Amino acid sequence: MRKILILSPCDIFPPVHGSSSAVYYTVKYLSKNNLLTILLTRLYSQNGTMDLFHPNIDINYCRKNVLDRLGYKSLLFNSWYFKAAYDIMKKSNSDIIQCELLWTALPGILLKKIFKKPLILVEENVEYLKFKQFNMFPYFTYLIRKLESLSCKIADKIVAVSEVDKSHIMRLYDVPKEKISVISHCIDPDVFKYDEQKRNLVRNKLGIGSDKVVLTFVGKLDYLPNVKAVEYIAKEIYPVVIKKEPNLKFLIIGQNYEHLMYYANQNFIFTGFVDSRANISLNLSDYLSASDIVLVPLDSGSGTRLKILEAAACSRPVVSTRVGAEGEDFAENKEILITDKVDSEFIANVMRLIENKELRYKIGENARKKIMKKYIWKKEIDKFKEIYEELLKARGMS
């Protein structure tokens, strides 16, 4: 049985965004056939209860410290994280080091050099491109590019979440395609599925009548692309749509929303964080079931759009920008509605779905079928088996 050390930059109990969800399900399904030692932090944590229990799982946390206030960037020089990674690697003697996100790459590189073990870098975003889109300070963007280039060269294997990201990595860092595997973010279809009873419970909780059309956005609301998306909804979409359909309700789901509360009113509701795990009385799947249309008006960011997969798994139709759906394999006008940007065409697509219940149902059902065909965690995580065998065989360890 292979021994894998997983370095995560965040907490996963509960998963609160795409990255933490990916690590959560990676741990859940890799533990069936591998011995896992995991290092987590309390960054972006909701301090939830641990709910992954298996003899093959050993969960460790880096101690809290003053650098945590700097977020993921602190892991590039956080001595407590480096020490924790070294200590658990020495104890576990893992066969492979797996870095989740670029932010854990430097500790991973150090462990690779010390312990002479292969290193996998899981690139859930192409970080340089993401920060370039954010118009961050040029010197910071330059450093991120240098770090990402170095990490991609030193890693024995790179995992991208989409063919689009794979192409970016090859182009930017001159990485041969054979070195990069694609393992998409996915969905647990037993957790994310439409539930009529839970739909009614959520609507009753929020005081929303059964006849109201509900439009929903989901995202961590201290993340710049998501903040801009909410601003698009509040400033561009809401005024036009509510004028035509005054009984509509908008739900904005996600933690750290307080700085956006000036947009709130009786038709524009902030719910706060909603847990995505199955063992919660009313979870994110239930809130999506209570929705009729899911909006993804993103104009920046990278990686796989988990919010689209979650909505699709719940048979909810999605209206997205092209950037918002980048990396996804959904057929336009059949499984999703897409425009180049948040403009009159985007709003027209929203109105089409509001006015046509049959179209909402058709697109939602088609999207669910695509999820069942292509985006199932259990199947996708199995791809790591080939990567591990390849790396260990190259070192005569298989």
Q: pLDDT tens across 257-290, in order?
A: 999 999 999 999 999 999 998 888 999 999 999 9
Q: Is residue 32 part of a domain?
A: yes
- Regarding whether 270 and 222 lie in a shared domain, the answer is yes
- Regarding whether 346 and 222 lie in a shared domain, the answer is yes
Range of the domain at 128: 2-186+377-394
The rounded distance, in Å, linking the Cα atoms of 349 and 101 is 34
Chain center to CA of 138: 26
- Regarding whether 265 and 246 lie in a shared domain, the answer is yes
Does residue 116 sit in helix, strand or coil?
A: coil
- Regarding whether 334 and 306 lie in a shared domain, the answer is yes
Contact assessment for residue 124 and residue 100, using Cβ atoms and an 8 Å cutoff:
yes
Q: In sequence order, what are the residues at sequence separation of 6 or more whose Cβ sits closer than 8 angstroms to the Cβ of residue 18?
A: 124, 185, 303, 304, 305, 306, 307
Candidates 327, 294, 326, 292; CA nearest to 310 is: 294
Contact assessment for residue 139 and residue 132, using Cβ atoms and an 8 Å cutoff:
no
Predicted pLDDT at 114 = 98
Cis omega before residue 14 (within 30°)?
Answer: yes
| Count of domains for the chain | 2
Contact assessment for residue 181 and residue 387, using Cβ atoms and an 8 Å cutoff:
yes
> Would you mind telling me the total number of residues written for the chain in this entry?
398
222 φ, ψ to 5°?
Answer: -115, 15
Predicted pLDDT at 302 = 60
- Regarding whether 204 and 75 lie in a shared domain, the answer is no
The rounded distance, in Å, linking the Cα atoms of 203 and 220 is 22
The rounded distance, in Å, linking the Cα atoms of 179 and 295 is 35
Q: In sequence order, what are the residues at sequence separation of 6 or more whose Cβ sits closer than 8 angstroms to the Cβ of residue 363?
A: 317, 318, 334, 335, 336, 337, 353
Predicted pLDDT at 278 = 84
Predicted pLDDT at 301 = 66
The rounded distance, in Å, linking the Cα atoms of 110 and 116 is 10
Residue stretches of the chain with pLDDT short of 70: 301-304, 397-398
DSSP letter for 62, please: P
Q: Is residue 238 part of a domain?
A: yes
Q: Is residue 257 part of a domain?
A: yes
Predicted pLDDT at 326 = 87
Predicted pLDDT at 304 = 58
The rounded distance, in Å, linking the Cα atoms of 116 and 216 is 48
- Regarding whether 387 and 358 lie in a shared domain, the answer is no
Q: Is residue 226 part of a domain?
A: yes
Q: Is residue 304 part of a domain?
A: yes
| Residue 214 CA neighbour count, 13 Å, CB half | 26
Predicted pLDDT at 396 = 76
Tokens of 158: 């790179």
CA distance readout (Å), 347 to 39, 87, 236, 243, 355: 44, 53, 8, 12, 12
Tokens of 186: 């996915």
- Name the pTM for this structure: 0.90
Helix axes 79-92, 105-115, angle to 10 degrees: 40
- Regarding whether 207 and 170 lie in a shared domain, the answer is no
- Regarding whether 146 and 209 lie in a shared domain, the answer is no
Contact assessment for residue 326 and residue 298, using Cβ atoms and an 8 Å cutoff:
no
Spell 153-177 as b/e; 16+ CB within 10 A means b: eebbbbbbbbebbbebbbeebebee
- Regarding whether 318 and 233 lie in a shared domain, the answer is yes
- Regarding whether 168 and 59 lie in a shared domain, the answer is yes
- Regarding whether 110 and 40 lie in a shared domain, the answer is yes
Candidates 295, 284, 397, 313; CA nearest to 354 is: 295
CATH code for the domain of 311: 3.40.50.2000
Q: Is residue 307 part of a domain?
A: yes
- Regarding whether 133 and 10 lie in a shared domain, the answer is yes
Q: In sequence order, what are the residues at sequence separation of 6 or more whose Cβ sits closer than 8 angstroms to the Cβ of residue 182?
A: 159, 160, 161, 162, 163, 165, 166
Q: Is residue 191 part of a domain?
A: no
pLDDT digits (tens, 9 = 90+) for 144-175: 999 999 999 999 999 999 999 999 999 999 99
Predicted pLDDT at 303 = 54
Does residue 391 sit in helix, strand or coil?
A: helix
